[in-house]
Structure 1
Amino acid sequence: MNTNIQTTANSNLSTDKKGVINLIKIGLANLILLVFAFAMLYPLYWLFISAFKTNQDFFSNPYSFPTHWVLENITRAWELAGLGKAMINSTIVTFAALILTIFLGALTAFVLSRFNFRLKGPLMAFFVLGMLIPIHSTLVPLFIMMNKIGILDTYWALILPYTAFELPLAIFIIAAYMTSLPKEIEEAALIDGTGYWGTFFRIILPLSVPAMATVAILAFLRYWNEFAFALVFINDQALKTLPLALTIFSDGFGTDYSLTMAAMAVAVIPTIIIYLIFQEQIMKGMVAGSVKG
């Protein structure tokens, strides 16, 4: 009798210890996530409060709220940098490159993931190898090539390189996702008389939306914030993108930090909106394809 009571007590004590350990683990995990979230959000907080400061206030109180909220910083930055035209240019270049990247990436991934052929392995290795190329080492040969074919100072001077350098990652992500899709769906469509193009557009492409959303947000961040290619390939003021427009507030003698922060705050808003819209699809795409079944 006493033995049974002691065993039950020990079992309850062991259960209590496990519960306490689990609570500690959950608490530590939440604390780590909280610290990580703070580290990610604080730069945005600092950017947006700095956008409404004077230059003097920016240096004297860099981490606190503005002493006087200067709302004119936004309108002045918008007018001086021509942010309206620059945002239109960035939007055209970004979304044109996005459409090409997603379509060509999905089409290539469909072939590599759903068909077996002799050169499948070497082709996949070739595309993966593309991710190892230092992008900026290609600036000079690309400039010479574009100058010869006459597409410098056009939207295509940015759209084509953006698409080419993002395709390897797009193919890798989308192909990994498409591989996890059951082949029975495709076989059933073929039996019903749907061709390969119909299978791709009506079945595989809609099912691959999470992976394509992941590619889209990663590509959007690269295209929207890209500076080096735009600086080298675009000299026409009417075609300047947002990163180039922001440089107007800095010269060899100094930087107007209040207007720079205001312009950067405006430029980062589309990125935040895009991420909030696609965040659920992005999370699905990041883990999809990692487990087959």
Structure 2
Amino acid sequence: MLPMTNASAAGSRSATWRKPFRLLLKLALFLYAIVTLYPLFWLVISAFKSNQDFFNHPFGLPLEWQIENVTRAWELGDMGRAMFNSTLVTISSVVLTIVLGTLAAYAISRFQFKLSGAVKGLFLLGMLIPIHSTLVPLFIFMNKINMLDTYWSLILPYTAFELSIAIFLCIAYMASIPKEVEEAALIDGNGWWGVFGRIILPLCLPVIATVTIIAFLRFWNDFSFALVFINSQALKTLPLSLSLFSDGYGTDYALTMGAMLIAVIPTIVIYLIFQEQIMKGMVAGSVKG
């Protein structure tokens, strides 16, 4: 029998510690998944408990499943109207953010002009502005132009504050697209708008999906802007409807959990739709060319 060489011995030792390391890594990821998903599981089971059951068995399964919690929350909170308002405001804001963000990112990342660095820095500076510090100035401004208590009072601020992160992500992603692709499209007779619409946008679907889910979650769950800028009951969004089940004297946790379950379903659906593109968008910009 031939003696074991140094390389084979090192490979054998490496294989012996890799197996337990991988096992520990999988166990850690499994535990992390449980910790991450448990709040959602807790919300689901809490949505079907009575108030007494909620306090007596906060972490256990319902002793009796109260299906009417969801239906009563839908009726009493006017959740149908609130969901329509949230959907309209969120989708409009997301579309505006994607259109303006991709156009700005394309101009900054693909064209060279004197103030390109300054323009890029100006957009990125928006990421440093505390959003809630602008509530009072925005309220005064919108009051003067009679925009309060309208859909636009939410759509425009949402879009403005989300543009910074959208442009930042799109610039980083577009920088990884070879310029030879554009040159070939121009030679084939496409104009700049054709290059952008037919070449760049399809290639940017992963980062667009990433921007979409980030913006959707922020717009859908926003409470402070809707609370300050919306007064009409007919225009209230889902977060405002959730506050109806709590007052200064107490909270109806059964109805609150039922309403929260209704509100969280669209976010889960959106994430499941875009999850593959989101993963691509997170790693695609790490490799050039």
TM-score norm. by structure 1 comes to 0.96
The answer as to 2:180 corresponding to 1:184 is yes
Equivalent in the alignment of 1:122 = 118
Distance 1:20 1:258 in 2: 53
Equivalent in the alignment of 1:255 = 251
Distance 2:188 2:13 in 1: 59
Equivalent in the alignment of 2:264 = 268
Distance 2:209 2:53 in 1: 41
Instruction: Please report how far the alpha carbon of residue 22 of structure 1 lies from its aligned counterpart in structure 2 after TM superposition.
Output: 1.0
Equivalent in the alignment of 2:77 = 81
Report the AA paired with residue 162 of structure 1: Y
Report the AA paired with residue 95 of structure 2: I
Instruction: Please report how far the alpha carbon of residue 15 of structure 1 lies from its aligned counterpart in structure 2 after TM superposition.
Output: 3.2
The answer as to 2:21 corresponding to 1:28 is no
TM-score norm. by structure 2 comes to 0.97
Measured against aligned partners, the alpha-carbon deviations of 1:117-163 in whole angstroms (never above 9, x if no partner) come to 11111111111110010000000000011111111110000000000
The answer as to 2:92 corresponding to 1:96 is yes
Structure 2 stretches lacking a partner, 5+ long? none
Seen in structure 2, the aligned counterparts of structure 1 residues 16 and 65 have a Cα distance that, compared at 3 Å, is: same
The answer as to 2:208 corresponding to 1:212 is yes
Instruction: Please report how far the alpha carbon of residue 12 of structure 1 lies from its aligned counterpart in structure 2 after TM superposition.
Output: 5.3
Measured against aligned partners, the alpha-carbon deviations of 1:44-90 in whole angstroms (never above 9, x if no partner) come to 00000000000110011011100010101000000010100000000
Distance 1:25 1:111 in 2: 46
Instruction: Please report how far the alpha carbon of residue 13 of structure 1 lies from its aligned counterpart in structure 2 after TM superposition.
Output: 4.9
Distance 2:101 2:228 in 1: 26
The one of 36, 42, 45 aligned to 1:40 = 36
Distance 2:226 2:283 in 1: 33
Equivalent in the alignment of 2:167 = 171
Report the AA paired with residue 120 of structure 1: S
Q: Identity rate of aligned residues, in percent?
A: 64
Structure 1 stretches lacking a partner, 5+ long? none
Instruction: Please report how far the alpha carbon of residue 5 of structure 1 lies from its aligned counterpart in structure 2 after TM superposition.
Output: 3.3
The answer as to 2:51 corresponding to 1:55 is yes
Two-structure CA RMSD over aligned residues (Å): 1.2
Report the AA paired with residue 215 of structure 1: V
SS at match of 1:7: coil
